[in-house]
Amino acid sequence: MRFYFLICALWISAYLPVSANAATKTLMIVGDSLSAGYGLQQPQSWPALLQDSLEQKNSVWRIQNASISGETSGGALARLPALLQQHKPTAVLIEIGGNDGLRGFPVNRLRQNLQQLIELSKAAGATPVLMQIRIPPNYGPRYTEQFVAVYAELAEQHRLKLWPFFMDNIAVRPELMQADGIHPNAKAQPIIRDFMLPFIEEM
């Protein structure tokens, strides 16, 4: 009888870690057209491809893509409270700011909005993750440098992970860009997925 209970105990302990790891975690992407799959079918977009890869790896993570084409930091800030309440994410990837820069919005406004996005995520119990965003240099070196620096400053201030911009190695390759020269095409999406996957797995 004691042997039977010992076997049962070993069997249960062997399966407990699996059960503990089976809890699903949600990474909600709050981004713009670069994450929304602009000009593509949704299954082609890198967040959808990333979700497929995570499922194949039996990862605890799933992707909730809340990105909208044309989104600004102000628009994301207005939407975030409802998104947090609806999806209750474990982590929030903030991929926002490109449209602020393209429209020449003040850097201080971008900083304030990103700050509030971070604080709202924390208050909801989600871990904020900030993505470095870059803009074309034709806005002048002073504005461009100040824009880029905001992300590192906020990441340091809030002790956040600052993920590198997934477009850095895409935008310089015309064969991976759509005709507008701004958005990645279908060929680029698996490359972005492969770039992002290790960061998700590290979390």
For residue 140, give the CATH number of its domain. 3.40.50.1110
The answer to whether 92 and 98 are in contact (CB under 8 A) is no
pTM: 0.87
Q: Is residue 81 part of a domain?
A: yes
Please calculate the CA angle 140-157-129 and round it to the nearest 5 degrees.
85
Q: Is residue 18 part of a domain?
A: no
Q: Which of 52, 158, 183, 194 is catalytic?
A: 183
Question: Edge-to-edge strand order for the sheet containing 91-95?
Answer: 61-65, 25-31, 91-95, 127-131, 162-163
Asked about 59 being catalytic, the answer comes back as: no
Q: Is residue 29 part of a domain?
A: yes
* Residue-range definition of the domain harbouring residue 154: 25-202
Measure the CA–CA gap between 170 and 180, rounded to whole angstroms. 14
Count structural domains, the chain: 1
Asked about 180 being catalytic, the answer comes back as: yes
pLDDT of residue 22: 54
The 10s digit of each residue's pLDDT in 166-198 is 999 999 999 999 999 999 999 999 999 999 999
Q: Which of 33, 35, 59, 121 is catalytic?
A: 33
* Positions of the chain with pLDDT lower than 50, given as ranges: 1-21
Residues listed for the chain: 203
Residue where the block lists tokens 């924390």 = 122
Measure the CA–CA gap between 64 and 85, rounded to whole angstroms. 13
Q: Is residue 19 part of a domain?
A: no
The answer to whether 83 and 59 are in contact (CB under 8 A) is no
Q: Is residue 100 part of a domain?
A: yes
Q: Which of 13, 32, 180, 194 is catalytic?
A: 180
Q: Is residue 63 part of a domain?
A: yes
Q: Is residue 34 part of a domain?
A: yes
